[in-house]
Structures are given as C-alpha cells and as structure tokens.
C-alpha cells in the first residue's frame, strides 16, 4: 500500500528530473552540456522505471489484493500525467 509520502517522493523525483531537462532545453547552455543533460534525463528515467516503478509493481501484485493493484494503477496514472509533458519536451529538442 502506497502511502502519500511515497507518492510525494516519486513526484518530487520527477520534478528534480524536470529541472535536469530544463538545463538541456536552455539555449544559453553550451550544446555539448545540453546533450549531457539530455543523457542524464534519459538515464534517470530508465533507472526510475526499472527500480522504483518495478519495485512498486512487484509489491502491489505480490500483495494480490485488488485494492493494492488499484492503488498502484492510480499512482502510475499520476506519474504519467507528470511525465508526458516532459517527454514531449525531450522529443522537441533539436540542437542547433
């Protein structure tokens, strides 16, 4: 069962990654540094989904109760709502 602290932790982590992406989008940042920030953003998301989301899914489904699974699914939807705009921004980056 996810407590509100866990939800805040995950959303806070995504907000940190949003700041990393902002550095990549900032045209005042030198091109090579922007590319590095994009790589960090992508690597952070990979780790987030492999570790955090994977562990939450394992716990929810190991519990087996419909409530735990429903809570996991609603948490994933909140994460998705936060993450989708960032992914669209990431795709729009075209270094000049």
- The reported pTM is 0.80
pLDDT score of 29:
93
| 44-53, 62-71, 75-84, range with the lowest pLDDT | 62-71
Q: Which string of b and e fits 30-54 if b means at least 16 CB within 10 Å? A: eeeebeebbeebbebbeebeeeeee
Question: 3-49, pLDDT tens digit by residue?
Answer: 555 557 888 899 999 999 999 999 999 999 999 999 999 999 999 99
Estimate to the nearest angstrom the gap between the alpha carbon of 36 and the chain centroid.
18
Per-chain mean pLDDT for the chain: 87
Max Cα separation, the chain? Answer: 51
Angle between helical axes of 66-92 and 54-63 (0-180°, round to 10)? 160
Estimate to the nearest angstrom the gap between the alpha carbon of 55 and the chain centroid.
14
């Amino acid at each position: 069962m996810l407590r509100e602290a866990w939800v805040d932790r995950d959303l806070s982590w995504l907000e940190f990654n949003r700041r990393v992406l902002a550095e990549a989008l900032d045209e005042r940042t030198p091109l090579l540094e922007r590319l590095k920030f994009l790589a960090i953003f992508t690597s952070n998301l990979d780790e987030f989904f492999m570790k955090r989301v994977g562990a939450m899914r394992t716990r929810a489904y190991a519990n087996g109760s419909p409530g735990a699974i429903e809570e996991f699914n609603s948490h994933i939807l909140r994460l998705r709502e936060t993450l989708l705009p960032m992914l669209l921004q990431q795709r729009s980056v075209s270094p000049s």
